[in-house]
Chains A and B, each alone.
Chain A
Amino acid sequence: MKFPAKVWIGTALVAATLIALPFALAYAGTAWVRIANFAILYILLALGLNIVVGFAGLLDLGYIAFYAVGAYAYALLASPHFDLHLPFWVILPIGAALAAFFGLLLGAPTLKLRGDYLAIVTLGFGEIVRIFLNNLSRPVNITNGPQGVAGIDPFRIDGFDFAQYQTLLGLQFSGPIKYYYLLLAVVIAVIVINLRLQNSRIGRAWEAIREDEIAASAMGINTRNVKLLAFAMGASFGGLAGGMFSAMQAFISPESFVLVESIMVVSMVVLGGMGNVWGVILGALLLSFVPEILRWTVEPLQDALFGRQLIDPEVIRMLIFGLALVLVMLFRPAGLLPSAVRKRELMGQAA
């Protein structure tokens, strides 16, 4: 048998945990359900970036721009701003496609760049998109500038409103809990796509161009198309995540798409293990939850130890966070769950 009983039981347990999780979190406070939702959004972003950085080996420091494109696409097509209220299943694909188009826009002129040079250009690209969003309020008001777009529609299917409180089957479903299940379904689909990509013909081509572009082209791989595909696919996941972010928040502004966010997503990919889907998921979960947990523990801890607040919790949170990153890079340079190839590369097992 390919799948023994153990695997089935394990899968069932994980599934049961994931289904029960939001209710357990809601017990601690709805804020925790929201944090879980954001963690899933970050998993989506990190998996999208992993295609570009981990699979194809193209360092992209402006990834958040695609998140912004998806978010603004949703916001402008489903808010009072233009008085457009298209249904979400129409806008999400539009947002993902638009983000993919922006991915091509970034990929095409940077085809010959690698490493540091590519990083600089992508970083600039991310800033350009943000600055455009900030300034596209004049002469024609498209993005509403720094004020952002408010009153964005939540997801809605025939009166089933994702933002509203509801009692179903005797269970109380708050807005965030409904979004949780939607996000969970989307992220599972994206994980499956990523796992299949890795062992596909196209995944092999990405691996080849990451290792040696000239040899790859000599083996018949169209390096230009394969790279552009990586940019476009990675970007489309970012766009999808952006659309859902927009709907969940009901308000977006350019401030949500700053460079630090790009760096955060890159950190998730690198910390978890570039190129390894499970590693990237772990990285995204850690970097989303740990700062929140610290936020909730540092303050009471200081009160208990010193009787007063010695250091601003925000400062200590970033301090621990930075320290953790440095330690991981020192002791596990290939990430917490490294991909087989990175392990060989960075841990000297090839020597």
Chain B
Amino acid sequence: MLLEARGLEVHYGGIRAVKGIDLAVDEGELVCLIGANGAGKTSTLKAICRLIPSRAGMLRYRGEDIATSPVHALPRKGLVMVPEGRGIFRQLTVEENLAIGAYALGGGDPEPQYASFPRLRERRKQVAGTLSGGEQQMLAIARALMTRPKLLLLDEPSMGLAPLMVAKIFEIVREIARQGVTILLVEQNARLALELARRGYVMESGAITLTGTAGDLLHDSKVREAYLGEGVA
């Protein structure tokens, strides 16, 4: 078990955004967490990488309790998040962004990233804020890969992108997974996420309501109705 959460709770003041969920990711898996807006997906992800504190529950990464470890300690252990809205350094160049990505390891060669994202190599001197949405997402992923993650947390990589670009980003995610990086993917685009992932969790108002293999979920009538926009015959 690479990542294990049990009874994880996140509160915002009096509001329980995540109500004691259980979630596990095995080494080498690509797992997705789907659900509607405000279901608590991003809160779950942020709690896992410690950007927000969890109120209760157990959180283990490679057998180690990380429920109280500081945010900045996790990238060094191989747990890296690509935040929602990308979180790139907009005023810095592509190169500089990648250099900061290598911070946790004390430096690194961006060459493998340029090899996987030729578009970024062409724009290495360009200011990140001037890249297109898709390129910014690529940069966010490439920057996270600079840390050589074991577990990559992706928060809505398809957000705000044109369908063609979404397909491209998902292709990249598939390729990263193929190279052996374990991925926990949070997505609103349930169909694409389930087609890509091996297993999935469905989240609804702070709780996990369904879980299973991606194939089963794709054919589940409730999922089809609620998230895939299909009426049940």
**A217 to B89 Cα, complex, angstroms:** 12
* Interface contact A201-B129, CB-CB below 8 Å: no
Residues of A within 8 A of B83 (CB): 214-215, 218
Contact A221 B130 (CB under 8 A): no
Q: Is A324 an interface residue (CB 8 A)?
A: no
**Are A219 and B92 closer than 8 Å at their CB atoms?**
no
**Which one of B91, B100, B147 lies within 8 Å of A204 (CB-CB)?**
B100
How far is the CB of A221 from the nearest CB of chain B, in Å?
Answer: 6
Give A131 to B15 CA distance when docked, in angstroms.
45
Q: How far is the CB of A279 from chain B (nearest CB, A)?
A: 17
Within 8 A of A (CB), among B44-87: 49, 51, 70-76, 80-81, 83, 87
Shortest CB-to-CB span from A205 to chain B, Å, is: 6
Minimal beta-carbon separation of B145 from chain A (angstroms): 12
The answer to whether B92 and A220 have CB atoms under 8 Å apart is no
CB atoms of A220 and B91 under 8 A apart: no
Instruction: Decide if B87 touches A212 in the complex (CB within 8 Å).
Output: yes
Beta-carbon contacts under 8 Å, B160-193 to A: none
The residues of A that contact B100 with a CB separation of less than 8 Å are 204-205, 207-208, 216, 219, 221
Q: From DSSP, what is the main secondary structure of chain B's interface residues?
A: mixed
A110 within 8 A of B: no
Give A205 to B106 CA distance when docked, in angstroms.
Answer: 11
Partner of B107, one of A201, A211, A216, A223: A201
B81: A residues at CB distance < 8 A: 218
A344 interfacial by beta-carbon distance below 8 Å:
yes
Can you name the residue of chain A whose Cβ is closest to the Cβ of B88?
A215
A212 to chain B: which residues have CB within 8 Å? Answer: 87, 89-90
Chain A CB within 8 A of B200 CB: no
Q: Is the CB of A215 within 8 A of B87?
A: yes
Selected from B72, B106, B129, B130, the residue in CB contact (under 8 A) with A217 is B72
Q: A350 contacts the other chain (Cβ, under 8 Å)?
A: yes
A211 in complex: contacting residue of B72, B80, B89, B143, CB < 8 Å: B89
Q: Which residues of B contact A214 (CB under 8 A)?
A: 51, 83, 87
Tell me if B103 and A201 are in contact (CB < 8 A): yes
A344, B104: Cβ atoms under 8 Å? no
Q: A345 an interface residue at 8 Å Cβ cutoff?
A: yes
A344 x B127 contact (CB < 8 A): yes
Flag whether A309 is at the interface (Cβ < 8 A).
no
Chain A residues in contact with chain B, CB under 8 A?
201, 204-205, 207-208, 211-212, 214-223, 341, 344-345, 349-351
- Residue numbers of B with Cβ under 8 A of A are 49, 51, 70-76, 80-81, 83, 87-92, 96, 99-101, 103-104, 106-107, 127, 129-130, 143, 147
- Ordered by A's residue number, 9 sampled pairs between the chains whose C-beta atoms are within 8 Å are A205-B100, A211-B91, A212-B90, A218-B49, A218-B51, A219-B104, A220-B104, A223-B72, A349-B127
Question: Which 10 pairs between the two chains have the least Cβ-Cβ distance?
Answer: A220-B104, A220-B75, A215-B87, A211-B89, A217-B71, A222-B72, A350-B129, A208-B100, A341-B91, A350-B127
